[in-house]
A and B are shown apart, each in its own frame.
Chain A
Amino acid sequence: MFRARSELVSLLCVLCLACSVPAGALADDETRFAEGLEAYDAGDFDATVAAWRPLAEAGHVEAQVAVAGLYLQGLGVRADPAEAARWYRTAAEAGDAVAQLNLGDLYSRGLGVPLDLVEAYAWLTLAAEQGNRWPAARRDEIAVGLSDAELEEARKRVNRYRSSL
């Protein structure tokens, strides 16, 4: 009962927030994002970061995924896999499939996060559930090395993360 009520409150908050954001601001965000993409295309990574990071910090999920990629590759910023993982996690928790598969990939390699195949399995599963074949294949590779108990734990995490998305 309490949970249903809190979900309703969350939904109303989201709706209010969506209504309070002017359409012009959304369009501006997309324009700003496109400017960053154009700069990225041109190899001007400083301008890319200048365009995308403020968007990412403001909650633009696509920009969060893009900024994570910049941190992972060290383009326009000092390479920082931990920072990349942080941005991927933020976007993954917002339900972005690309962020989920990359976060799972980082966990499977211990890059920017501790090596954790159970966590990798969980995030790759969530990405695979959105119809992407790559995380499904990677998850199945990982599953071979997991014990029954670890698989059980991974599935619990999948359920937990799914319910909080």
Chain B
Amino acid sequence: MMTKIFKTLLFSVLLLLVSCKTQQDSKTPRWLDDIQYDSKLDKKDFVVCDEDEVYQYFNLGNAIHYHGDKPVLINSILENYDSTKVKKESGLIRIRFIVNCHGETDRFRIMQSDLNYKEKVFDKNITNQLMAITKTLDGWGQKYKDDGTSVDYWQFLNFKIVEGKIVKILP
């Protein structure tokens, strides 16, 4: 009986908390996986045109919206990545960033795991190369709303690395 009362009470409190959450706490990201500005990592002059409405990569068009399409993007990465000077490590590396309404990029963040999705830290020669190459990619296209306004959007690249080599670039 007591357990039932406790569960009902917990349910009511949680409902109340959820209702209260409709008032946004400015310190809490509004969207899942948002990346906040970090003065130590990010360009001071990078403009996010509408911080409250950064779209996801799959909104408003193709998954990869790049000048020359995905083959050109892949070539740009593979031509500049040198697998001969890295450790033969394997896993997944995600680099996520914002493409702003002008088609410029910043707020790059990296995530790493082994091939079993367990967090790990790769050889710096791998991650530094990938980060540097990703930062130089300058063919990202602008995305537009129906009214013609260009928007900011989150983009990511997932690199599958096997023994130091890039075997797949997704999505």
Do A and B interact?
no
Residues of A within 8 A of B (CB): none
